[in-house]
């Protein structure tokens, strides 16, 4: 029997036994009644956790099917544990979302052996904000300019030898010939700020401007500190008199180094889906996240939590930034690795 005559002959049987070809499931059908796991790579109670949980409350309003969102914290190795799991073992159907600290996507590039993921293969959803680092000096320390910081060593609070504050101190020392010496052992930003006020140290190499606003809002207006230098993705509008580090550099290799080192600040708080998720679900999730970042009610809520949404980045922009940094010249990457791990 001719093939097509055979198919026609079998059609009544196929219809009666439910053997008809399956119709592709729509995004709304997939998410309706489903519970999505929202994995946060930091501990509960911090700013990354608060931002993720706030997004989770708004996501059902913006995602077709209105699924339930269950947030779960998976801290470990500074976010690497969660990133590895999201890359290798998480479901690839759109039912698992991840939120990472901004530095985590660059750990493989820096040669961190524990980081076994490739950030260029994640499906990035976007980031609500970018961050600006402020080199902060206690006014009573007697240092009022970068020249003063070149003339005499100053101490800065840090959590560990290879933590962000220590790496930032080494970066600025290299680029601007300053003489900062990290004093390690301070557990977190609040503890470091208290150490500055107690005059245990002279300042801090990288306090996020958002942290100054939320934890010590009177420092600047009462002139208790001097914001000596700022760097990151954008200039902080509230600090018009504070030099922007990139504007002071003329050597192209130095500028590329600062750009690469500032990439975690430019990523802010990025969110993702694992590799291999169907593209229609990725597109729906990307759209939902950008709608949340633009939602006035959401923005009011994060402000009340002393967080902020500024210069949101789309998933495509997050990926483009990661790919640019991974494509930096090898000598720039080697230089950054030397500063990052000692």
Q: How far apart are CA 259 and CA 279, in angstroms?
A: 31
pLDDT for 130-156, tens place per residue?
A: 999 999 999 999 999 999 999 999 999
Expressed in percent and rounded to 5, the helix, strand and coil fractions of the chain are 45, 15, 35
If one compares 47 and 276, the residue with the highest pLDDT of the two is: 276
| Claim to verify: residue 306 and residue 274 sit in the same structural domain | yes
* Residue that is last in its domain, among 263, 278, 307: 263
What is the per-residue pLDDT for 7? 46
**DSSP letters for 292-307:** HHT-HHHHHHHHHTT-
Residue 22 confidence (pLDDT) above 70: no
What is the per-residue pLDDT for 21? 46
The pair of three-digit structure tokens given for residue 242, joined into one six-digit string: 């504070």
Q: How far apart are CA 61 and CA 322, in angstroms?
A: 29
| Claim to verify: residue 307 and residue 274 sit in the same structural domain | yes
Asked whether residue 7 is domain-assigned, the answer is: no
| Claim to verify: residue 254 and residue 136 sit in the same structural domain | yes
| Claim to verify: residue 195 and residue 221 sit in the same structural domain | yes
| Average of per-residue pLDDT across 313-325 | 98
Asked whether residue 257 is domain-assigned, the answer is: yes
Q: What is the CATH number of the domain that holds 332?
A: 3.40.190.150
Tell whether the torsion through CA atoms of 243, 248, 252 and 254 is positive or negative.
negative
Instruction: Write down the mean pLDDT value for the chain.
Output: 92
What is the per-residue pLDDT for 215? 84
| Claim to verify: residue 143 and residue 198 sit in the same structural domain | yes
How many structural domains comprise the chain? 2
What is the per-residue pLDDT for 15? 47
* Residue that is last in its domain, among 263, 288, 313: 263
| Claim to verify: residue 141 and residue 255 sit in the same structural domain | yes
| Claim to verify: residue 238 and residue 164 sit in the same structural domain | yes
pLDDT for 247-286, tens place per residue?
A: 999 999 999 999 999 999 999 999 999 999 999 999 999 9
Asked whether residue 256 is domain-assigned, the answer is: yes
| Claim to verify: residue 258 and residue 220 sit in the same structural domain | yes
If one compares 220 and 16, the residue with the highest pLDDT of the two is: 220
Return the half-sphere exposure (C-beta side, CA atoms, 13 A cut-off) of residue 39.
25
Domain of 216 in residue numbering reads as 132-263
Residue 239 confidence (pLDDT) above 50: yes
């Amino acid at each position: 029997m001719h093939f097509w005559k055979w198919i026609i002959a079998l059609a009544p049987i196929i219809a009666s036994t439910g053997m008809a070809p399956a119709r592709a499931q729509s995004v709304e059908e997939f998410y309706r009644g489903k519970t999505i796991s929202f994995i946060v790579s930091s501990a509960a109670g911090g700013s990354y956790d608060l931002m993720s949980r706030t997004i989770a409350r708004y996501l059902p309003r913006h995602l077709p099917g209105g699924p339930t969102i269950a947030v779960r914290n998976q801290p470990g190795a500074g976010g690497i544990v969660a990133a590895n799991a999201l890359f290798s073992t998480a479901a690839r159907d759109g039912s698992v979302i991840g939120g990472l600290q901004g530095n985590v996507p660059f750990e493989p590039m820096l040669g961190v052996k524990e980081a076994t993921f490739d950030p260029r293969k994640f499906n990035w959803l976007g980031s609500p904000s970018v961050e600006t680092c402020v080199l902060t000096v206690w006014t009573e320390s007697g240092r009022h300019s970068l020249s003063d910081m070149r003339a005499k060593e100053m101490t800065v609070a840090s959590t560990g030898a290879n933590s962000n504050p220590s790496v930032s101190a080494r970066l600025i020392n290299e680029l601007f010939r300053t003489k900062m010496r990290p004093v390690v052992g301070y557990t977190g930003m609040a503890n470091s700020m208290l150490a500055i006020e107690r005059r245990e140290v002279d300042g801090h190499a990288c306090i996020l401007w958002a942290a100054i606003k939320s934890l010590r809002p009177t420092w600047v207006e009462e002139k208790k500190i001097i914001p000596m230098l700022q760097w990151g993705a954008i200039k902080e509008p509230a600090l018009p008199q504070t030099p922007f580090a990139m504007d002071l550099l003329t050597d192209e290799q130095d500028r590329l180094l600062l750009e690469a080192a500032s990439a975690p600040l430019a990523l802010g708080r990025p969110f993702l889906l694992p590799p291999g998720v169907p593209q229609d679900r990725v597109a729906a999730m990307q759209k939902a996240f950008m709608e949340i970042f633009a939602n006035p009610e959401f923005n009011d809520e994060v402000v009340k939590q002393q967080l902020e949404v500024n210069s949101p980045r789309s998933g495509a922009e997050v990926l483009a930034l990661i790919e640019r940094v991974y494509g930096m010249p090898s000598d720039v990457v080697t230089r950054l690795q030397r500063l990052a791990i000692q």
